[in-house]
Amino acid sequence: MKRRKRFLLLVPLVAIVAACAVFASGVLPYKVYVLHTGSMSPTIPPKSAVIVDAHHYHVGQVVTFVENGQTVTHRLKSINAEGLTTTKGDANATVDPWHVPKSQIIGGVVRTMPEVGYWLVYLKNPIGLASVLLAVLASWQMWSLAKTPSVAAEAEPQRLPRARHRRRRRPVLSFLRRGTQPRHARRPAWRGGPSIA
């Protein structure tokens, strides 16, 4: 039973680690990015994570692209004949001052995950990842200790309450019930003396 509980606790952790490893390896056509600013609010709030479908996008869709070495997630407004794009953040009043070429577009956003980006940034740091793993292991250890009975309780046998035996009392006048004489009346006669008839 304990092994089954441990297995059920480890399954979500292993699944999360495996999913992160698959996304990081680049095997899937999807990539994950984090929004650090509120330029796409309220559509995509800051600290959100976005899943981007690489090389698949269209005009009007939110796309992720590289501009001056930085990754930006804004809405694609138009593409001109020369292949230059016009982008704009939903929270911004004007379009972006740059016009990146289509070759710098990574892909279109297909899914947003609010507040997940904060944890991705935190777990990307080795110290943050180590702290989360230590917290999970400590919680698991405390939970297992709370469920395990103490050694002293297992070694000490359970004491059953003693049954009270009621002492049987002899009635004071029991000799009357048996029809015998009291002890002082049953003395033997003296030798040679008169006998009681």
Instruction: Please give the angle made by the CA atoms of 126, 127 and 131, to the nearest 5 degrees.
Output: 115
pLDDT of residue 98: 94
Distances (CA, A) of 115 to 25, 42, 138: 23, 13, 25
pLDDT of residue 15: 67
pLDDT of residue 25: 53
Tell me the per-residue pLDDT of 108-134, one tens digit each, with 9 for 90 and over. 999 988 877 666 665 666 776 677 677
Residues of the chain falling short of pLDDT 50: 197
**pTM over 0.75, yes/no:** no
Please say whether the dihedral angle defined by the alpha carbons of residues 71, 76, 77 and 78, taken in this order, is positive or negative.
Answer: positive
pLDDT of residue 29: 77
Write down the residue that tokens 């070759």 correspond to: 103
pLDDT of residue 114: 85
